[in-house]
Structure 1
Amino acid sequence: MSIASESSGLSQARLGRMREVLARHIDDGDVPGLVALVSRRGEIHADVLGRMAVDGPPMQRDTIFRIASMTKPVTAVAAMILVEECRLKLDDPIDRWLPELADRKVLRSIESEINDTVPAKRAIMLRDLLTFRLGLGMIPVFPARHPIQMAIADAGFAPGPVFPSFPPDELLRRYGTLPLAYQPGERWLYDAGSQILGVLIARVAGTSFAGFLQERIFGPLGMNDTAFHVPQHKLSRFATSYGRDHATGTLKVFDAPATGKYAAPPVFENGSAGLVSTADDFNAFAQMMLNGGRLGTERILSRPSVELMTSNQLTPEQGLGSELLLGASRGWGFGLSVVTARDDLCHVPGRYGWDGGYGTSWYSDPCETMTGILLTQRMMDSPQPPAVFADFWTLAYQAIDD
């Protein structure tokens, strides 16, 4: 554990409270282990608790976790690099690069049969992918009852903890068989935008998506453990992933390090949910964002690009249905959520970031010059943050001492 000094504006006594409360979640069996990191004004406090697996070795500061949807903001940064180089434009149609999604048909209404469509009023644009307003994605109606939800599941994109693993061209072909649920730009729908965005970036860059991320983001930022799989020599640092067995209430293995989905390079480098990382690796990314696109001597993006990415891009009408995931006080920027109203201790307008469904959370607060990262290996049970998330964020903000 590293202790933040007084210059960080964090109370050491109150940071001690963080360790005590988080330890209770491990003692109660909620999570096998965790790494919690709070950074403010360039100084870092980290708590490393529990084990990498039930009855496994102790958790380490450099343990590797599946960060799931915390991948989305990384993908958005990669897209903005291409925008800054004028290789992509936010409001140009993506048809040139993704012909599978050209000339879209749109459902007459969300309840319509799959073939009851009208022509799209315009093409899908890069901005639509970044803001999740392309017309494809998760329909927030449970249990599923609309024909489009059945078609999405049949195409291999049903919501859940198992992500698509098709080759990129096959992924685009499958999305191309679906009508849009809404007109481009009309409504926020979760997830599909980042999957498709990763394919777009690879095609424009003329390299693999992983290769582009390594060259333009991970390498410059020193994110040496962030990738789409964990090589053999790092498996000893890779945490086991667990889900809750609802029949027994106990934790069961979802993904094992040596035999699971991340032990070899994937067929699909998923820009929505495919990365693994460590607390310090992701903190490097977070500090780059908080510093307006720069970390040390490395500039990844311009400050205006970061400001655009971290500004709410949704009108109230576009955000209808997003409440399941965003709640009442968050909008969406480019690949991440943005707090729009103060209704909780940690909900500071302008705070941005996102969670990962496999048990991770990251947010940065420009107002407080603070970043928090919580990495656990227990999958979330619902869109509502688990108790350990809520406690971590309460504890991070209560530690502010100026």
Structure 2
Amino acid sequence: MAYRSFDDIALDRRALLRSGALFGGGALLAGSPLASLLAQPGGPAAWPAVSAMVEDYAGARKVANMVATLGWGQAAPATIARGTLTVGQPEPAGPDSLYRIYSMTKPVTGMAAMILIEEGKLGLDQPIAEILPAYSRMMVQRTPDGSVTDLVPAERPITVRHLLTHTAGLGYSIVQKGAIKTLYEDQGLIPGQVSRIQLPGLGRGTPVRGLAAFADRLAKVPLVYQPGTKWSYSVGLDLLGRVIEVAAGTPFDRFLETRIFRPSGMTSTWFRVPASEVGRLTTNYGILGGTPIPLDPARSSIFLDEPAFPFGGAGLVSSPRDYDRFLRMLLGYGKIDGRRVISEPAVRVGTSNLLPDGVTTKGTFADGAGFGAGGRVTTDGVYGWGGAAGTVAFVSYKAGLRANLMTQYMPSEAYPVHTAFPAAVLKDLAAQQAAAKR
């Protein structure tokens, strides 16, 4: 079911005990009580396929390191780690190492918006022009990725739902082609950073300074698609950061800190890594012919600098332990360690399919799933997303499981980590089910 509002939710806690499958695996967990799965050993030995994957990548030096973190319900997680923070250096990677999580920032921003929706400061289907008047008269390319002067008026307003689900019609300089891509770059509409090093193919222009300036400039650029008609990966979650800070009356990064990070016990998640913590930061690598080449060395990382603005779509650095706490809070329907961070209805809506009527992800890299508040949603109760430097995370409500994998390499398609990790988890779950039946 795709929840359309908080009123649509039936808070049936018995539903949490129903068996289900992870990532469309049919009836993998069907017929196996959740309690028997939760009774399985929680350490690395319970995850041989995941352990083998970590060994294959980090042990063979395809990447400098890899850390997998898996936990049942609200129990302490198992950590499987291999490798060092930087190739050739002795410091081992572990649960408190720091990783550029890039687009795994999007679910965090999405849940921040859900807090304000639940509090009545935003509406799921509220036009963002009510918050940011510059978006009241948007124009749209007649031909997507075509002329930036042959335009037609937007047929409907951009809403908060559209920003959450990449259906606002906005572009992305890493996705678009032609004149619109150039326009994004020339205007500094580049909500992300990679390195201080000037490298071929990575020079995308200089980001505009300030979240307000980003939003103002973006309003003057044509949309690529009519709002609410197509799923297209975009800067929607970055713009949502500006919507959040105006609606909340507090800077976006401060809102995340006070409303999500601090109450969730997340002490190692930032838009800028403090100088005192550089000893935990990993190096990010480019993969060239199967060999990791430093892109963003830890000691001189661009993430030690103040960013142009807090990138709500791709700006955070976090640790496996910290992001596990975010996932544990979500798996607890907004509650962790007895503390309520987000309301249960807000989490239920945010982790449901929020795509506008008639819009699907068919033919996209999110194919076969719905989309919630900044993350992919499956019919089997899985919510999560991955990052551009080899990170991926999800919660499975039907399995009662949370999992994240962190490593650092670019481009993300150099290795199939985003699909290989869920597949390894699924394989181990199948083995655990089989063992429980014996």
Q: TM-score normalized by structure 1? A: 0.87
| Structure 1 residues 10 and 254, CA gap change in structure 2 (3 angstroms) | farther
Equivalent AA in structure 1 for residue 365 of structure 2: L
Report what 1:397 is aligned to. Answer: 426
Q: Does 1:305 align with 2:341?
A: no
Q: CA RMSD in A?
A: 2.6
CA distance in structure 2 between the partners assigned to 1:235 and 1:265 by the alignment = 14
Report what 2:295 is aligned to. Answer: 254
CA distance in structure 2 between the partners assigned to 1:139 and 1:270 by the alignment = 14
CA distance in structure 2 between the partners assigned to 1:42 and 1:7 by the alignment = 14
Once the 2 structures are TM-superposed, how far is the Cα of residue 7 of structure 1 from its aligned partner? 6.6
Once the 2 structures are TM-superposed, how far is the Cα of residue 377 of structure 1 from its aligned partner? 1.4
SS of alignment partner, residue 326 of structure 1: coil
Q: Does 1:218 align with 2:261?
A: yes
Once the 2 structures are TM-superposed, how far is the Cα of residue 269 of structure 1 from its aligned partner? 0.3
| Higher mean C-alpha displacement, 256-265 vs 59-68 | 256-265
Asked if the contact 2:124–2:160 (Cα under 8 Å) also holds between the matched residues in 1, the reply is yes
Report what 1:165 is aligned to. Answer: 207
Equivalent AA in structure 1 for residue 114 of structure 2: M
Q: Does 1:271 align with 2:347?
A: no
Once the 2 structures are TM-superposed, how far is the Cα of residue 315 of structure 1 from its aligned partner? 6.0
Once the 2 structures are TM-superposed, how far is the Cα of residue 205 of structure 1 from its aligned partner? 2.0
CA distance in structure 2 between the partners assigned to 1:32 and 1:350 by the alignment = 33
Instruction: After TM superposition, list the pairs within 5 Å mapping 1:14-93 onto structure 2.
Output: 14-43=46-75, 44-56=77-89, 57-93=91-127
Asked if the contact 1:22–1:388 (Cα under 8 Å) also holds between the matched residues in 2, the reply is no
Instruction: After TM superposition, list the pairs within 5 Å mapping 1:3-402 onto structure 2.
Output: 8-10=38-40, 13-43=45-75, 44-56=77-89, 57-110=91-144, 112-138=146-172, 144-145=177-178, 147-157=179-189, 162=194, 165-166=207-208, 167-245=210-288, 248-314=289-355, 317-319=358-360, 323-327=363-367, 329-340=368-379, 349-382=380-413, 386-400=415-429, 401-402=432-433
Gaps of 5+ in 1: 341-348
CA distance in structure 1 between the partners assigned to 2:309 and 2:173 by the alignment = 23
| Higher mean C-alpha displacement, 39-48 vs 361-370 | 39-48
Once the 2 structures are TM-superposed, how far is the Cα of residue 317 of structure 1 from its aligned partner? 4.9
Once the 2 structures are TM-superposed, how far is the Cα of residue 90 of structure 1 from its aligned partner? 1.6
Gaps of 5+ in 2: 1-34, 195-203, 434-438
| Structure 1 residues 390 and 80, CA gap change in structure 2 (3 angstroms) | closer
How many pairs align? 382
SS of alignment partner, residue 129 of structure 2: coil
Equivalent AA in structure 1 for residue 87 of structure 2: V
Deviations 1:75-96 (A, max 9, x none): 0111111112211112222223
CA distance in structure 1 between the partners assigned to 2:161 and 2:319 by the alignment = 29
| Structure 1 residues 160 and 28, CA gap change in structure 2 (3 angstroms) | farther
Asked if the contact 1:25–1:388 (Cα under 8 Å) also holds between the matched residues in 2, the reply is no
Equivalent AA in structure 2 for residue 395 of structure 1: A
CA distance in structure 2 between the partners assigned to 1:83 and 1:233 by the alignment = 36
CA distance in structure 2 between the partners assigned to 1:365 and 1:59 by the alignment = 26
Asked if the contact 2:163–2:236 (Cα under 8 Å) also holds between the matched residues in 1, the reply is yes
Once the 2 structures are TM-superposed, how far is the Cα of residue 160 of structure 1 from its aligned partner? 8.7
CA distance in structure 2 between the partners assigned to 1:141 and 1:69 by the alignment = 14
Once the 2 structures are TM-superposed, how far is the Cα of residue 51 of structure 1 from its aligned partner? 0.6
Deviations 1:315-364 (A, max 9, x none): 685236x634213x222111100124xxxxxxxx2211000111100011
Q: TM-score normalized by structure 2? A: 0.80
Equivalent AA in structure 2 for residue 325 of structure 1: F
Once the 2 structures are TM-superposed, how far is the Cα of residue 380 of structure 1 from its aligned partner? 3.5
SS of alignment partner, residue 386 of structure 2: strand
Equivalent AA in structure 2 for residue 129 of structure 1: L
Once the 2 structures are TM-superposed, how far is the Cα of residue 189 of structure 1 from its aligned partner? 1.8
